[in-house]
Amino acid sequence: MKARNIQHTSFANEVQMGPMRVKQPLPATNIRQMSPFILLHHAGPTYYNPDTSKPRLSPHPHRGFEPVTFLFQGKIHHKDSLGNEGFLNAGDVQWMTSGKGIIHSEGPSAEFMQEGGNFELIQLWVNLPRVHKMTEPKYQHLTKETMPVIKEDGLELQLVAGNYKGQTGAASTFSPILAMMVHFDAGAKTFFELPDSYNALVYVLDGEIKTNETTVEKLNMVTFDHEGEGIDFEAVSKGKLLLLAGEPIQEPLSTYGPFVMNYPAELKQAIEDYELGLMGVLED
């Protein structure tokens, strides 16, 4: 099978996100989005001693997209204006649909603060098609146990969303998406088959890989063209990555802070609605 070629490479430079410093490979100077994926933040890995202060994002609003948290290490506590409260462990995923508006907060759980340990997560922003931007908000807490795991030689593929090798991910999505948390040993090889129309990217959290004879080091994100049937993969060293692919949303994109809409006037309306309390209330 013909492998897709790398289209862009983006290093995850650090940016300030509330009380935290996070690595951001998307958006970057050479790539604004890889529709339907519009932002990727990588927090950690960081070791916290027990009983020390740990950063938490205070209540803040979202509208028009889906914030998704992939927890690789640690434990987090989520609260939102719908009344949802989730406690996530390593390997769990939080898939939240902001829709017409939601307020949430998240950070290391009280249990993790007492225990200490390693903390690492990715937050991904997934765009919503215009027809669904003002849908009712919802929250999906996907535990590791509810997600199919596909094991190959030296590879463990945790299927979060979409269909792959006869398995179906646990997440419900508004557009066709494939999302996998992948752990790999040195020397592992595979070929990720993808639908021709899907945009695709790989972000390497740790380790080093090769794809189509090109080396990709950790903290780099690569996007791919459509000239092939999938992504060729070889692990140079042990590590982990996030593989994302999806049907692009061919619509205008207008963003401001925590709001993702189609046109500037809709952003202005989002700000007004938030200030009027129409997205709900959440106490810190």
Q: Tell me the C-alpha distance between 113 and 6, whole Å.
A: 40
Q: How far apart are the first and last CA of the chain?
A: 52
Structure tokens at 65: 């997209």
The region, left, alpha or beta by phi > 0 then psi within -120 to 50, assigned to residue 152 is beta
Q: Tell me the C-alpha distance between 198 and 229, whole Å.
A: 10
Q: Are 241 and 23 in contact (CB under 8 A)?
A: no
Q: Are 78 and 85 in contact (CB under 8 A)?
A: yes
Q: Is 156 exposed, middle or buried (0-12, 13-18, 19+ CB in 10 A)?
A: middle
Count of Cβ atoms closer than 10 Å to residue 19 Cβ: 12
Q: Tell me the C-alpha distance between 108 and 73, whole Å.
A: 11
Q: Are 251 and 38 in contact (CB under 8 A)?
A: no
The region, left, alpha or beta by phi > 0 then psi within -120 to 50, assigned to residue 238 is beta
Beta strands, E only, 49-113: 57-62, 65-73, 75-80, 85-89, 93-97, 102-108
60 is annotated as contributing to ligand binding:
yes
Tokens 């557009």 correspond to 175
Q: Tell me the C-alpha distance between 48 and 111, whole Å.
A: 12
193 is annotated as contributing to ligand binding:
no
Binding-site positions for Fe cation: 60, 62, 104, 106
Binding-site positions: 60, 62, 104, 106
